[in-house]
Structure 1
Amino acid sequence: MTSDRPDVLVVGAGVSGLTTGVRLAESGVKVRIRAEQEPWESHSAAAGAIWDPIYAKHPRVEQWAARSYEVFVELAQNHFPGVRVIDGVEASRVPIPSPDWAVGLPGYRECVPADLPIGFVSGWHYTAPIIDMPSYLHELQRRLIVAGGELVFGQRLQTLGDAFDDAPIVVNCSGVGARELVPDPEVQPIRGQLVAVRNPGLTDFFAEHTDELGEMTYLLPQGDTLLLGGSAEKGEASAVPDDQIARDIVARCSLIFPAIADAEIVGHRTGIRPSRPEVRVEHEPLGNRHLVHNYGHSGAGVSLSWGCADDAAEIVLGLL
């Protein structure tokens, strides 16, 4: 740690904290990120991370998602580690029209019956960013450091008030930790689980569309690895994988792509989503100290990350 006091302390080194820190550091702000665990140990590292903004609520969700899509496409074009843009299908088991956010995307078209797996009756094809989170977070951290940002790990804050020992402006990107740190009882943990298998040849993604986070089926190719999902266990804060849930995920995905049934399992990913009735990105003035919140993204933290980081950074730059 340097002896110089930063202008801003960011609490949390998941995707929201790192992205916000990068935006601030690259704007010339002296930034320190403080987190208990390093980014690749965070809940963000376990995410399947396909761009899909539907599992978060806020009037600005579409704008945040559109901005994030734009940035991810640019990163993919510049070969940023972990970021790719691929084709795929999102489908529903009940008849629904394509959502407005999908219609304008590259590669969009309505699915015909031949495009859909058994059990699905409507859907749409489009092109979406898919992020390999461990390598992406590692590179995002490197980008922060290159921009002059600082990271401090291993010390757990008891309250957000403690964060003001570091800086007069604190950006709260603590995810599910905001339930205790703020404290904000509206934040609820939702455990999500993925199974990683050796990819038997899938090149396009498949995602089941559901109105709310729950038991859904998706297949996300990450090169030689294929991520299978998923689950959403409300109120569950333990990140220990459940063997039965893993077996159920593989079984559901095998109905769509039968070769998965014999694919070698190479790992499990389990993370806790920070569910909240509405994403919180706002300024909370505290006299001569300032708290800027950026949390509560539920299952859309990656999908909204750059848009929310831009808004949070704009608030901070205005305060400075």
Structure 2
Amino acid sequence: MTITLARSHTIYSMKAVESAQERARALKSPELEAFYDNMLELGAERFVTTPSSTGALDPLYEDCPNFGEVLDDLTRYLGLSIAGGAGVNVMPVLLLGDPGVGKTHFGKRLAAVLGTEFEFISMNALSAGFVITGSSSTWKGAKCGKVAERLVRGKFANPVVLLDEVEKATGSTQSDPMSALYQLLEPETSRAFHDEFIDVDLDASQVFWVLTANSLDGIPPALLSRMAIYEIPTPTPDQAAGIARRVYVGLLRELKLQNMDEDLDDSVLDKLSEVSPREMRKALLDGLGYAVAAGRASLAPEDVRLKADPCKRKIGF
């Protein structure tokens, strides 16, 4: 049996927050002062979670079967953590693969099995730098970045933070998202992460970083050197069939359709293997509606009505 173990980790200095709050009062910034009030009320301690067994990752081998290489490495790192009684020491992970292979889904499932929180940040935006580091409190509409918000308002010091499409990151000279990553992806410098809005150092060294990209083009070599890179393949037909079965069974339980057959015919699986998991879920949900309306207890091929899109190529999980 696997349980989640948790220890306490200090995210910020309470004295530093009190000093910053005094500065906010002098600047007559009620929004910033309220944020510091919240930080003091929540306290500086957050949980760092570690599963008690490497078996915690076993469900991901079935749920994300095309992520075997990265899961093998994570299993070894988790084993080292359990043996030494320390936190999981993992380099930032870059998942490289075509759209639809399941990179974001993997990040969400990883957070779930680790017993921590998940934060999604799209890097395909002009304001990506501000989204990560926050904006100066002197600016109109200023607010903290997503990293600081997760660490301050969340319960965990080791959330899984997924940076999506990192190769498409853009920004201005005042807010270069890549410059923020140089600090955050290094264990030593991330211990004193400075959010522009909060103006208090935060310890982001426990964050589990997962980055996704469709290509290495546009990612600086110096940044790549800070990450473990994994090429994620499209699922094989057998893997896609397994994913479809799990999505289907999950829907039956979610909808409490106890009279429906839990097995899917091979002809149904063949049709579903052409679409992504998100499309699988919608296709199966619609198909169940057609089957129930027809008074059948099993899904037939004609129930799975995939919408043709001539501009869309086949994608995997």
TM-score with structure 2 setting the length: 0.26
Q: Which has the higher helix share?
A: 2
TM-score with structure 1 setting the length: 0.26
Q: Which has the larger radius of gyration?
A: 2
Higher relative contact order (CA 8 A, sep 6+): 1
Q: Which has the higher strand share?
A: 1
